[in-house]
Structure 1
Amino acid sequence: MKTPILIAALFFSGFATAQQKTNDTIKSQNTKEIEAVTITKQVFKKQSDRFVYDVAASPVAKGNTTFDLLKQTPLLSTTDDKTLKIAGKNNAIVYINGRKSNMDAESLTSFLKNTPAENIQKIEVITLPGSEYQVEASDGIINIVLKKKMTDGLNGNFRMSNTQNKYNSTSSSASLNYRKGKFGLNANITGSQEIEPQEYIIRNGNKNTITESVGPIDSPEKNLGGYINMDYQLTDKSNLALSWNTWASNSKGATILLNNTYSNYDDNGNLTNRFYNLSRNVLNNRSYNNNFNLNYELKTDEEGSKLNLNAAYLTYKRIQDSDNRTYASDANWNQGALANQIIQDTPQNINNISAMADYIKKFKNDFTVSIGGNYNKTKTENDTKYESTNFAANEATKYKPNLFEYDENIYGFYLTLEKKFSDKFSGKIGTRYEITNSIGTSDNPPAERPDMARVEKNYNNILPYLSLNYAINDKNNISYAFSSRMRRPSFWELNPVRNIITQDNYTQNNPFVKSSSIYNQELTYMFKNSYFLILNHSYFKDVITMVPLQRDVVRDGNTYRQLAYIRSNYGDKQEMSAMLGMQKSFFNQYLTTNFNIGLQHNINNGTLNSDPTTGEIFDTYTNTKKSTSLIIQTNNTIRLDKAKTWFAGVNFFYVDKQQIDFGQLQSLAGLDLSIKKLWNNWTFAVNVNDVLRTNIVKIKDEQADGNFNYLSNDTFRRGLTASVTYNFGNQKVQKARKVDGAADDIKSRTR
């Protein structure tokens, strides 16, 4: 995990669920070769199991990054400027030409923010993926379809940008596309350098004991990565493709500085004692991500039937260490004597080999049968080292390293039947059968949990899928879909490491976490391919989340309030949403508007009172609260001149307060403004984000027993970005054929 350990833990749990956004991120399996489409007046439309947003002729893509374009796509939104969310869904998984990206969540975000959007043909939003997709939980899919060019030659683009918020950051990227006869190649290299700033207020306790931690986190980041895709047409019916994705991230000398205040009160609310200490954390993190995929495709008949075979190798390596020091302090942050030091070394290695086979048989009567299977073998190693020194007591403890190894084998099989019964009515039914066998071993388990030495889990899951689509007439379309999925824990969630934030605040992962099940239903109505209504219901069983547990601890005669974020399955929840939207142009296309408004109703039902990894007992945490929230999003592109060279953008979102897994997320809002100039092959753009500085995350929770939690996280989203993009070469060059990778579903769990 990266420098801001706490916020990483929050964003990959219930916190991320509440964000109106989407991940991290990273792979699945749809072997359908997606072809470019001809530009039509129907910019946004419903096709079978997906919504299609045709952006090829739109000025929105010019000069923007891919991430900027996704933020302005109907049904998509973000509140943290890191992850994307599909309306009514928890997460959005990013695909490129039917293939999931090969990067961890944060690397993918950096990549999308630095990649020009000029080459995008259309964006497909699949709210409920079919059985052929190996997506987790209630994930939806964003499929980015690149333009296809029909002549030989070379083209490409360069993009450079500079952003100023609390600090200054720079990024650049270059892309090249080459085609000659049967051979095609495209490549990209992307790099960025920045300091990610955050400001925290963490407050918890009860009427007798209150702890508050306040301070900044600064995380310097250097990123470098890219991809190479090659394909060669062996015969008229067969193709061979090889791809390599790589990403490296270096965060050296990241700092967490928190001034901690401890207050004790009597039963009448009178202050009886107050004392302070200062936490200074220095973290170093380097990660490397490489994925190789070999694909063979054979077209078996003139109807479009084909066989797809994939073999892949994935490796992920993270080198991470931290030095956490606690000093005596006062109300003015004056640093005193060193009281305690904790040094941690928490590396992670992941290796995966995968294979996948799919056969799609198309019949003349508009009937399609898809059948396939996959195999994934993953091995992770986490060799954690831990040292603690109490300078006040002159005691030093060097704990025995704990080598946690996790071996997992997944076997998957699916069958999908799709039939177009008439020009108006079509349906799709399918199922996945997945077998998961895993073993986690620790060579130094806690004395309280000797069973952690070997944790074995075996799952057998049948996951049905159904979708129906009816075109009432040329203007009206209605569809229904049902999907069942499971969410496996990420590999880092299973590693039983404790990440120290302050002396009395930490996060704890858990090898006993089991997979959760999710059942989704969705009803969609669309009018004139411009207006839509989406009703969604999701039921989550055995939710995996980070639960905030607290208790009193006595040390040196003083009472402290300990706060631990424990990874666990803590209960069930339901999410229901109704979203009304519009994507339309006005005033002879001088104004293009994407507008969504809706309600989301959350029902939570969870409780936890112990750390499963140690058996330690905490005060019981219960979340049985409900909430109904208003959600508004509008993205507007304004053409400022007749020549179509000047454009302005006005984007706004509002998310009402809502109950999430570990508290009530307070309302969020964001206003972004932009202006853009097109000049020959150049595009110049200026963007100002979070103009009103209203996008600051705040979470509150109050328990019936008097315990409370409060978290404020400011990531300084207000900032100005200036960018320039240059396109060169023969713009008719055809892209190398993209294929679906065998390791796609594994990658998302490295985040």
Structure 2
Amino acid sequence: MKRIILSMAIVFGTCAFAQEKKSDTAKTKNIEGITITKQVFKKQSDRFVYDVAASPVAKGNTTFDLLKQTPLLSSTDDKTLKIAGKNNALIYINGRKSNMDAESLAQFLKNTPAENIQKIEVITVPGSEYQVESSDGIINIVLKKKMSDGLNGNMRMSNTTGKYNGSQASFSANYRKGKLGVSANLSGGENIEAQTYTLRNGTAKTSNESTGDIDDPNKNIGGYLNIDYQLNDKSNLALSWNTWANKSYNSTVNLFNTIKTEDGTKYTWSKNKEDARSYNNSVNLNYELKTDSLGSKLNVNAAYLNYKRFQFTDNRTHMSDANMGVGKMTTQVFQDLPQIINNFSGMVDYNQKFKNDLTISIGGNYNKTKTDNDSKNITYSFNPVEAPDSRPNHFIYDENIYGAYLTIEKKLSDKISGKIGARYEITNSLGTSDNAPTDELKRIERNYNNLLPYLSFNYAINDKNNISYSFSSRMRRPSFWEINPVRNILTDDNYTQNNPFVKASSTYNQELTYMYRNSYFLILNHSYIQDAITQVPLQGYPVSPDGTVGPNPVLRYIRTNFGNKQEMSAMVGIQKSFFKQYWTTNFNIGVQHNINNGSLDMDPTTGDRFRNQEGKDIVYTNKTNSTSLLIQTNNTIRLDKKKTWFFGVNYFFVDKQQIELGLLKSLMSLDLSIKKVWNEWTFAVNANDILNTNIVKIEDFQDNGNYNYIHQNRYNRNVMVSLTYNFGNQKVKKVRDIEGASDAIKSRTR
């Protein structure tokens, strides 16, 4: 159920560009009469660093809430995070990519207390040493680690009230004894994700409208375990385990369909039920060896990822009338859609530092992935009664990726530094299907090589001014679920279609950044995407390769490569505190210009083409440009001298913009919060989207007369009450940053 709706509302994963900033203003501490000023937000050579360990913003918040208030980060759908000018943000924890699917990762971040975080690093243009794809940026969450022997931790409970009620709880602990350090978290919760959904499509003479409610109950439990042991003064051994489980039983879709053709109007009900559960486990073993006193080191990682999702759907169509009565069942479709992913990976990195401020990094990685999708589809027709149509399909996808990189980083002077590098990747993949409808689907083999250069330059003009430039080229391989050739059914005539023929796309990124006093910034960004992977609608009367024309118009959301795309953005902002840090604010404003250039005239999985009622061929095109205004502000107001009461006001506005599915109307949200800190207790109340304006509306009108309209209310307006308690010795230190060996896989399980 989630994947159907998330796929149709794919704009949240690709097109929300509101940027959020959090104050970089220095915090002040008095130690034995000496005043020490600490920069909370600063620019390093290849990343922005937000030090939140001592920040009152972290207290009582979840990790997800804290990320939304981190400079350069944003979220408009409360599920995914964006970096300025980026299509996606990959989450790293202690330098290791989190190998969770999108929903599990969002729940994990929402259930993890922000008190566990030491700092947040935002890498807008990752270097060649990182295994990232497309225009992805990196958010590295560095967890706290105890400095002295003993135990500390926290407990957090929260309750969220929207259309339905949801609750969450978590327990975290940090322990150190001599050379051994252990950190662990256990969290979970339950909620019902609700949506009111309208899908309308057709032509001047025909139309198909589906409207109704979608309810998706969820129960989650998971956490992490990190063990770090210092073997000697030069070497460390670390073991990390992340786990998450989701149970989503009795998810329901109830849509009333109005189908208008030249022969009249027909009414039906689509009543779908889904039971799904997923399990995500990943383990990473890391060995680090310091080879000299300058900081040179060797890192070796080995990792294993196991992801399982079991999904069973019961899709029923009932006859109806204009009064929306539920009549006789005409069609019933059972779908069993399991997916099992196993990934073994290894990575070796070596950084050699020299006395003349030169660093040479070299490394390699290997990823072996196997996905097993043994799907079954049985259709029963009752009007008239027909024999069941059974369509099993066992799709297995094997992929091997070999990668190697070399980077050279040099500090040319006290003001000028640069980095140049390249990554070379070899990809071999084979997809096989034992019961494919066409011969082309039975065996799909791809072998390709890519050279991916990288360049960055940083110029610290003086203590107050800094300018940097980065160029990067990347690939985006399709997610594993995208290439599994199954249909996710919404109604008899509307469904999403995955596509095993989707090939990797290429992305070229450029970014110019100027910062003044770590408080004012200008970011210019340009991205060019070749063979963009996205989802587009094809509608009309389907015509099979043998010339057979379908009796009814249909709407298929096809996952495919959809031409080329350019994204350009310019953003200016301020991050500062006023009135002796009583008011911490950031305000930024920017423009986003999208250039779309794509067309599709055939369903690549079936070979079907589409005609209108006059018999003319239909081609879906999107060659439209758009320029959009983006506004974001976050404000934290300290209400007392003792720093125990805080009031928050957050707001974002995203202007209408052209995306692959059509014109996305403007989005807006106003959020308020109040927080009380009392010794080790923190009590908070958050009111989100209080104006109820964060609702998705998409319109598309084609020159051939086709139109498509989507309205999706995800009930973002809610109130959350939370209580957090911190216990033990709170002295902490930063943990080692470790990049996990299975990094290249994480985003593709989404």
TM-score, normalised to structure 1, is: 0.94
Deviation at 1:57, TM superposition (A): 2.4
| Matching residue within 107, 118, 136 for 1:139 | 136
Q: Which residue is 1:413 aligned to?
A: 404
Q: Which residue is 2:30 aligned to?
A: none
Deviation at 1:733, TM superposition (A): 4.8
Output the CA distance in 2 between the equivalents of 1:590 and 1:505: 53
| Matching of residues 543-692 of structure 1 within 5 Å | 543-552=532-541, 560-618=552-610, 619-692=618-691
Provide structure 2 residue ranges, at least 5 long, that are not aligned to the other structure. Answer: 20-34, 544-548, 611-617
| Matching of residues 16-35 of structure 1 within 5 Å | 16-20=13-17
The question of whether the paired residues in 2 share the 8 Å contact of 1:372 and 1:415 is answered with: yes
1:468 correspondence with 2:457: yes
Letter in 2 for 1:372: G
Output the CA distance in 2 between the equivalents of 1:585 and 1:21: 22
The question of whether the paired residues in 2 share the 8 Å contact of 1:264 and 1:559 is answered with: no
Deviation at 1:717, TM superposition (A): 0.4
Output the CA distance in 1 between the equivalents of 2:326 and 2:241: 49
1:227 aligned counterpart, secondary structure? strand
| Matching of residues 696-711 of structure 1 within 5 Å | 696-711=695-710
Q: Which residue is 2:375 aligned to?
A: 384
2:67 aligned counterpart, secondary structure? helix
Output the CA distance in 1 between the equivalents of 2:550 and 2:58: 59
1:67 aligned counterpart, secondary structure? helix
Output the CA distance in 2 between the equivalents of 1:312 and 1:144: 19
Q: Which residue is 2:725 aligned to?
A: 726
The question of whether the paired residues in 2 share the 8 Å contact of 1:44 and 1:583 is answered with: no
Measured at CA, do residues 553 and 414 of structure 1 come closer, stay the same or move farther in structure 2, by a change above 3 Å? closer
Deviations 1:380-426, CA, capped at 9 Å, x for gaps: 11001010111011113242421100000000000010001111000
1:439 correspondence with 2:430: yes
| Matching of residues 140-539 of structure 1 within 5 Å | 140-264=137-261, 273-446=264-437, 449-539=438-528
Measured at CA, do residues 21 and 231 of structure 1 come closer, stay the same or move farther in structure 2, by a change above 3 Å? farther
Measured at CA, do residues 429 and 95 of structure 1 come closer, stay the same or move farther in structure 2, by a change above 3 Å? same
Output the CA distance in 2 between the equivalents of 1:636 and 1:220: 33
Letter in 2 for 1:301: D
Deviation at 1:8, TM superposition (A): 1.8
Deviation at 1:332, TM superposition (A): 2.9
2:553 aligned counterpart, secondary structure? strand
Letter in 2 for 1:691: I
Deviations 1:81-131, CA, capped at 9 Å, x for gaps: 111111111111111222211311111100111111113222211110000
1:519 aligned counterpart, secondary structure? strand
Letter in 1 for 2:662: G
Deviation at 1:595, TM superposition (A): 1.5
Measured at CA, do residues 457 and 20 of structure 1 come closer, stay the same or move farther in structure 2, by a change above 3 Å? same
The question of whether the paired residues in 1 share the 8 Å contact of 2:18 and 2:632 is answered with: no
2:469 aligned counterpart, secondary structure? strand
The question of whether the paired residues in 2 share the 8 Å contact of 1:291 and 1:315 is answered with: yes
Q: CA RMSD in A?
A: 1.6
Output the CA distance in 2 between the equivalents of 1:578 and 1:558: 47
Measured at CA, do residues 53 and 227 of structure 1 come closer, stay the same or move farther in structure 2, by a change above 3 Å? same
Output the CA distance in 2 between the equivalents of 1:629 and 1:250: 39
Output the CA distance in 2 between the equivalents of 1:738 and 1:483: 23
Deviation at 1:342, TM superposition (A): 0.6
Deviation at 1:275, TM superposition (A): 1.6
Output the CA distance in 1 between the equivalents of 2:644 and 2:678: 7
The question of whether the paired residues in 2 share the 8 Å contact of 1:496 and 1:613 is answered with: yes
| Matching residue within 112, 117, 130 for 1:115 | 112
Deviation at 1:736, TM superposition (A): 6.1
1:62 correspondence with 2:59: yes
Deviations 1:253-301, CA, capped at 9 Å, x for gaps: 1000000001235xxxxxx622200000001111011111111110000
Task: State the percentage of identical aligned residues.
Answer: 69
The question of whether the paired residues in 1 share the 8 Å contact of 2:245 and 2:277 is answered with: yes
1:60 aligned counterpart, secondary structure? coil
Q: Which residue is 1:28 aligned to?
A: none
Q: Point out the more displaced range, 429-438 or 116-125.
A: 116-125
Output the CA distance in 1 between the equivalents of 2:518 and 2:205: 59
The question of whether the paired residues in 2 share the 8 Å contact of 1:155 and 1:728 is answered with: yes
Provide structure 1 residue ranges, at least 5 long, that are not aligned to the other structure. Answer: 23-37, 266-271
2:605 aligned counterpart, secondary structure? coil
The aligned length equals: 723
The question of whether the paired residues in 2 share the 8 Å contact of 1:39 and 1:57 is answered with: no
Q: Which residue is 1:35 aligned to?
A: none
Output the CA distance in 1 between the equivalents of 2:88 and 2:37: 30
Deviation at 1:503, TM superposition (A): 0.2
Output the CA distance in 2 between the equivalents of 1:76 and 1:737: 23
Output the CA distance in 1 between the equivalents of 2:343 and 2:285: 14
Output the CA distance in 1 between the equivalents of 2:585 and 2:173: 33
Q: Which residue is 1:51 aligned to?
A: 48
Deviations 1:653-707, CA, capped at 9 Å, x for gaps: 0000000112111000000000000000000000000000000011110100110
Output the CA distance in 2 between the equivalents of 1:436 and 1:245: 27
Deviation at 1:330, TM superposition (A): 1.8
Letter in 1 for 2:660: D
Letter in 2 for 1:591: W
Deviations 1:55-79, CA, capped at 9 Å, x for gaps: 2222111100011111111111111
Q: Point out the more displaced range, 471-480 or 668-677.
A: 471-480
TM-score, normalised to structure 2, is: 0.95
1:492 aligned counterpart, secondary structure? coil
Measured at CA, do residues 378 and 553 of structure 1 come closer, stay the same or move farther in structure 2, by a change above 3 Å? closer
Output the CA distance in 1 between the equivalents of 2:179 and 2:689: 47
Output the CA distance in 1 between the equivalents of 2:735 and 2:47: 24
Letter in 2 for 1:4: K
Measured at CA, do residues 716 and 504 of structure 1 come closer, stay the same or move farther in structure 2, by a change above 3 Å? same
Output the CA distance in 2 between the equivalents of 1:407 and 1:39: 55
1:396 aligned counterpart, secondary structure? coil
Deviations 1:282-323, CA, capped at 9 Å, x for gaps: 011110111111111100000000000011111111111100
Q: Which residue is 2:546 aligned to?
A: none
Q: Which residue is 1:29 aligned to?
A: none
Output the CA distance in 1 between the equivalents of 2:554 and 2:380: 19
1:81 aligned counterpart, secondary structure? coil
Deviation at 1:499, TM superposition (A): 1.1
2:104 aligned counterpart, secondary structure? helix
Deviations 1:424-473, CA, capped at 9 Å, x for gaps: 00000010000000000000111xx2121110001100000000000111
1:491 aligned counterpart, secondary structure? coil
Output the CA distance in 2 between the equivalents of 1:20 and 1:427: 29
Q: Point out the more displaced range, 682-691 or 739-748.
A: 739-748
Measured at CA, do residues 553 and 375 of structure 1 come closer, stay the same or move farther in structure 2, by a change above 3 Å? closer
The question of whether the paired residues in 2 share the 8 Å contact of 1:74 and 1:595 is answered with: no
Output the CA distance in 2 between the equivalents of 1:505 and 1:125: 40
Output the CA distance in 2 between the equivalents of 1:63 and 1:456: 50
